[in-house]
């Protein structure tokens, strides 16, 4: 009998699905690509044909300009690509993010892309799909990574904001996904004040709004005086935190929303006063709970700390291996 999943090849530049003649999240331009989500390490520009959710295609157009061969596939829709049945189901990571479900000759393979299990007001929840092979990310694949409840982190942010109305709180958050999620999480916690934003996230905010995500009242920092921004939250990409740009803000308390804020040294490197542990990736418990739930025969592990998760799988009688894909950054969290 052929090895399980022998029709799927792992190459440094991505996962190649031979009977579909298609690549998943390739790091180089390909004739046919299936894209899990819009983060730039997964969604490169320049492919001839792209299969992705409408939201992901819109994100790619926003970043790379018009994509000629874009073919939208909605969550739950199934299509045949070559000799493979393909469907996209929610991954709960960012707007439009999907797991790719592949079925060929009676074998079912799920490629998770990046995912998380906790609720996110900007995208539908991860849908567990039992399978033979689960290809999982492991960005936070160490038992030390256990993300706290999102609501309590947001409350710490609001507490800090209200403690000194002469200052603003500047939150570093990745431009795609995290920034819009923080805004929505604040709204869910009852914060209805205007939220200021750095120009670099404006287009993605608008894209989220165009897909019906309500971000409440947003204001560009560009036209605002220091006095106006006092007592308010400002959202900016992480690169702007220690940038000259931040001098226009009223004595900012520097915060950063990322799973990496669990590591004090990373917070210190960025001069972050208020580290908020808010991640768009599964933590250790979410990774292991998901594998338990899906009951795959094999787990293939990609970008991250593969070793510990591989060991965990083996102690739970699940065959596991690491895929050596290059080009994935852990910077999207």
| CA torsion through residues 323, 324, 328, 333, sign | positive
- Determine contact, residues 115/92, Cβ cutoff 8 Å: yes
Q: What is the DSSP letter of 226?
A: H
Nearer to Zn ion among residue 4 and residue 323 (C-beta)? 323
Nearer to Zn ion among residue 22 and residue 325 (C-beta)? 325
Nearer to Zn ion among residue 114 and residue 153 (C-beta)? 114
Where does residue 90 fall: left (phi above 0), alpha (psi -120 to 50 degrees), or beta otherwise?
beta
Q: How far is the CB of 163 from Zn ion (least distance, A)?
A: 33
Name residue 274's beta-bridge partners.
255
Dist. CA 263–CA 243, nearest whole Å: 22
Q: How far is the CB of 41 from Zn ion (least distance, A)?
A: 6
Q: How far is the CB of 134 from Zn ion (least distance, A)?
A: 16
By CB under 5 A, name the one of 55, 120, 286, 332 that touches Zn ion: 332
Q: How far is the CB of 277 from Zn ion (least distance, A)?
A: 17
Dist. CA 314–CA 312, nearest whole Å: 5
Q: What is the DSSP letter of 324?
A: -
Q: Judged by CB under 5 A, which stretch of 84-92, 110-118, 226-234, 317-325 contacts Zn ion?
A: 110-118
Residue 114 as a binder of Zn ion (CB under 5 A): the answer is yes
Q: In what order do the strands lie in the sheet with 84-90?
A: 78-81, 84-90, 98-104, 107-111, 133-138, 298-304, 319-322
Dist. CA 173–CA 157, nearest whole Å: 13
Q: How far is the CB of 279 from Zn ion (least distance, A)?
A: 11
In this structure, the dihedral spanned by the alpha carbons of residues 289, 293, 295 and 296, taken in order and rounded to 10 degrees, is -70
Q: In what order do the strands lie in the sheet with 22-24?
A: 8-11, 14-17, 22-24, 32-34, 49-52, 70-72
Q: Judged by CB under 5 A, which stretch of 7-15, 33-41, 178-186, 206-214 contacts Zn ion?
A: 33-41
Q: Judged by CB under 5 A, which stretch of 15-23, 108-116, 215-223, 294-302 contacts Zn ion?
A: 108-116
Q: How far is the CB of 237 from Zn ion (least distance, A)?
A: 15
Q: How far is the CB of 330 from Zn ion (least distance, A)?
A: 7
- What are the structure tokens assigned to 12, written together? 């440094």
Nearer to Zn ion among residue 298 and residue 332 (C-beta)? 332
Q: How far is the CB of 315 from Zn ion (least distance, A)?
A: 26
By CB under 5 A, name the one of 30, 39, 63, 167 that touches Zn ion: 39
- Determine contact, residues 110/294, Cβ cutoff 8 Å: yes
Radius of gyration of the chain, Cα coordinates, nearest whole angstrom: 20
User: How many residues of this chain interact with Zn ion, rule: CB under 5 A?
Assistant: 3
Helix/strand/coil for 127: coil
Nearer to Zn ion among residue 30 and residue 303 (C-beta)? 303
Residue 116 as a binder of Zn ion (CB under 5 A): the answer is no
Q: Judged by CB under 5 A, which stretch of 32-40, 54-62, 122-130, 194-202 contacts Zn ion?
A: 32-40
- What are the structure tokens assigned to 106, written together? 């009676």
Nearer to Zn ion among residue 73 and residue 94 (C-beta)? 94
Nearer to Zn ion among residue 121 and residue 231 (C-beta)? 121
Helix/strand/coil for 247: helix
Q: Judged by CB under 5 A, which stretch of 109-117, 240-248, 258-266, 309-317 contacts Zn ion?
A: 109-117
Nearer to Zn ion among residue 39 and residue 117 (C-beta)? 39
Q: How far is the CB of 112 from Zn ion (least distance, A)?
A: 10
By CB under 5 A, name the binding residues for Zn ion.
Answer: 39, 114, 332
């Amino acid at each position: 009998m052929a090895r399980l999943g022998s029709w799927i090849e792992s190459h440094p530049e991505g996962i190649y699905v031979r009977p579909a003649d298609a690549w998943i999240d390739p790091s180089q331009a390909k004739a046919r690509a299936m894209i899990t989500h819009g983060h730039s390490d997964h969604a490169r520009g320049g492919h001839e044909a792209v299969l992705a959710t409408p939201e992901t295609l819109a994100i790619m157009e926003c970043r790379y300009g018009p994509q000629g061969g874009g073919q939208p596939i909605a969550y739950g829709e199934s299509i045949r690509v070559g000799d493979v049945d393909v469907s996209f189901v929610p991954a709960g990571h960012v707007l439009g993010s999907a797991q790719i479900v592949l079925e060929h000759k009676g074998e079912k393979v799920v490629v998770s892309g990046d995912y998380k299990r906790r609720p996110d007001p900007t995208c539908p929840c991860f849908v567990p799909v039992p399978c033979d092979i689960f290809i999982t990310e492991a960005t936070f694949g160490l038992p030390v990574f256990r993300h706290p409840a999102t609501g309590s982190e947001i409350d710490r942010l609001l507490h800090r904001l209200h403690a000194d109305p002469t200052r603003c709180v500047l939150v570093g958050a990745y431009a795609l996904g995290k920034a819009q999620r923080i805004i929505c999480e604040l709204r869910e916690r009852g914060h209805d004040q205007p939220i200021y934003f750095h120009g670099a996230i404006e287009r993605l905010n608008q894209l989220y709004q165009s897909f019906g995500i309500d971000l409440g009242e947003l204001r560009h920092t560009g036209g605002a005086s220091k006095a106006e921004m006092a007592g308010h939250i400002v959202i900016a990409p992480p690169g702007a935190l220690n940038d000259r740009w931040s001098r226009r803000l009223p004595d900012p308390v520097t915060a950063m929303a990322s799973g990496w804020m669990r590591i004090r040294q990373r917070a210190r490197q960025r001069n972050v006063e208020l580290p908020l542990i808010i991640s768009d990736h599964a933590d250790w418990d979410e990774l292991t709970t998901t594998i338990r739930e899906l009951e795959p025969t094999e787990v293939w592990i990609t970008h991250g700390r593969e070793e510990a998760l591989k060991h965990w799988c083996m102690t739970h009688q699940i065959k596991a291996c690491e895929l050596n894909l290059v080009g994935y950054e852990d910077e999207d969290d």
